[in-house]
């Protein structure tokens, strides 16, 4: 949302640093969460589906940003769409509840 707002200076620098620190951690968190919520008997299938959804989102996000630039001359609409999708994912993740398996 900070990128879409067109801010500059320290807020954007902080956002870039936070993004850099979090990049790559999503795969570890994905495997950890799948293991906690599902049995090992279905881990491979569930992880494969979740990882596929993650990669599809990455592809659609990149394409969405390109479309946003071509259609509007700005990345703003695409960045706002990405922010909305992240808020929806956060809401879904927050509703998972306690772990089922240890």
Where exactly are the structural domains of the chain?
Answer: 2-94
Q: Show the low-confidence residues of the chain (pLDDT under 50).
A: none
Measuring CA to CA, which residue among 71, 89, 86, 79 is closest to residue 2? 79
What pLDDT, on a 0 to 100 scale, did the predictor assign at position 63? Answer: 92
What pLDDT, on a 0 to 100 scale, did the predictor assign at position 67? Answer: 93
What pLDDT, on a 0 to 100 scale, did the predictor assign at position 27? Answer: 77
What pLDDT, on a 0 to 100 scale, did the predictor assign at position 69? Answer: 93
State the Cα angle at 55 between 22 and 34, rounded to 5°: 70
Q: Is the pTM of this model over 0.85?
A: no
Q: Tokens standing for 33?
A: 């969460």
What pLDDT, on a 0 to 100 scale, did the predictor assign at position 89? Answer: 86
CA distances from 40 to 73, 87, 91 (A): 47, 29, 26
Dihedral of the CA atoms 16, 18, 21, 23 (nearest 10)? -70
What pLDDT, on a 0 to 100 scale, did the predictor assign at position 101? Answer: 63
What pLDDT, on a 0 to 100 scale, did the predictor assign at position 86? Answer: 85
């Amino acid at each position: 949302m900070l990128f879409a707002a067109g801010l500059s200076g320290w807020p954007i620098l902080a956002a870039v640093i936070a993004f850099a620190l979090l990049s790559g951690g999503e795969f570890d968190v994905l495997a950890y969460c799948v293991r906690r919520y599902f049995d090992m008997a279905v881990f491979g299938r569930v992880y494969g589906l979740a990882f596929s959804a993650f990669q599809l989102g990455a592809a659609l996000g990149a394409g969405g940003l390109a479309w946003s630039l071509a259609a509007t001359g700005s990345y703003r609409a695409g960045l706002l769409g990405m922010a909305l999708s992240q808020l929806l994912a956060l809401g879904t993740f927050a509703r998972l509840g306690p772990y089922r398996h240890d």
